[in-house]
Amino acid sequence: VIFIGIAVVNFSSIFEQFTSDSRELIEAAGGDIIQLTLTEAWVAAAKLAVMVGLTASFPYFLWEMSRFFRPGLKSTERKYVYFLIPAALISFAVGAAFAYVILIPRLFEFMLKFQGSLAVPQITAASVVSMTVGIVFWLGTIFELPILMFLLAKIGLLNSKWLKTKRRWVILLAFIFGAAVTPTDPVSQVIVAIPVMLLFEIGMLLVRFAERGRDE
């Protein structure tokens, strides 16, 4: 609640910072970020502030959850909790940063150049926030894949032999995911698909590690 409150109070500066790169690209293409209703920009900025506040408070939420379940865990299970919580947070942060710093500017640039000869870009504040937050969230989430694979292997629902037979399908799904996140730009699709395939390979290593630990 405290993090959300701080973010809401500073929603205007958060909105400006979050959309600064997108705004520069839109203005360079001769357009601007606009609002179609009296409250659209304010509502978009407020939603963004709430999302930032929730994200900032998530590590504390995970820590409190771990404290709640800790008394019922074995010593070996506690060791994995202490590893998985920071690993999950770091993975999400890396994925979100990858989306915000590398993918989104590339995607905006491509779309504006592609459509620049067809119309003057007048992009609504709500669409900029919705698209940016959506891509950041899904890329951050997909970067959790190795952690999820490790957990499933640890409880016996995944094994490395089965995963090896599905590698070609993972490659296909990686490009489908890239197409879903960046539907207009083939280069951006590749930029998304390659990390997803690498994450799968990292997950494979963690699955093998989990299998060794389970067998001991």
Residues 94-135: tens digit of each pLDDT: 998 998 888 888 888 887 777 656 677 788 888 888 888 888
Least confident of 118-127, 153-162, 190-199: 118-127
| pLDDT greater than 60 at residue 175 | yes
CB atoms within 10 A of CB 149: 23
How many separate domains does the chain show? 1
Per-residue pLDDT, 200: 93
pTM: 0.77
Least confident of 97-101, 116-120, 180-184, 206-210: 116-120
Tell me the mean pLDDT in the region 173-185.
80
Per-residue pLDDT, 160: 87
CA distance 163 to 142: 17
Query: What are all long-range contacts of 180-184, with beta carbons under 8 Å and residues at least 24 apart?
Result: 181/103, 181/135, 181/138, 181/139, 182/103, 182/107, 182/135, 184/107, 184/110, 184/111, 184/114
Least confident of 70-74, 85-89, 115-119, 150-154: 115-119
Per-residue pLDDT, 88: 85
CA distance 110 to 33: 17
| pLDDT greater than 70 at residue 11 | no
The answer to whether residues 139 and 95 touch, using CB atoms and an 8 Å cutoff, is: yes
CB atoms within 10 A of CB 182: 23
Per-residue pLDDT, 184: 64
**Beta bridge mates, 123:** 33
Owning domain of residue 73: 1-213
Which has more pLDDT, 178 or 182?
A: 178
Q: What is the 3-state secondary structure (H, E, C) of the chain?
A: CHHHHHHHHCHHHHHHHHCHHHHHHHHHCCCEEECCCCCHHHHHHHHHHHHHHHHHHHHHHHHHHHHHHHHHCCHHHHHHHHHHHHHHHHHHHHHHHHHHHHHHHHHHHHHHHHHHCCCCCEEEHHHHHHHHHHHHHHHHHHCCHHHHHHHHHHCCCCCHHHHHHCHHHHHHHHHHHHHHHCCCCHHHHHHHHHHHHHHHHHHHHHHHHHHHHHHC
CA distances from 41 to 48, 127, 130, 134, 149 (A): 10, 10, 12, 17, 40
Per-residue pLDDT, 73: 66
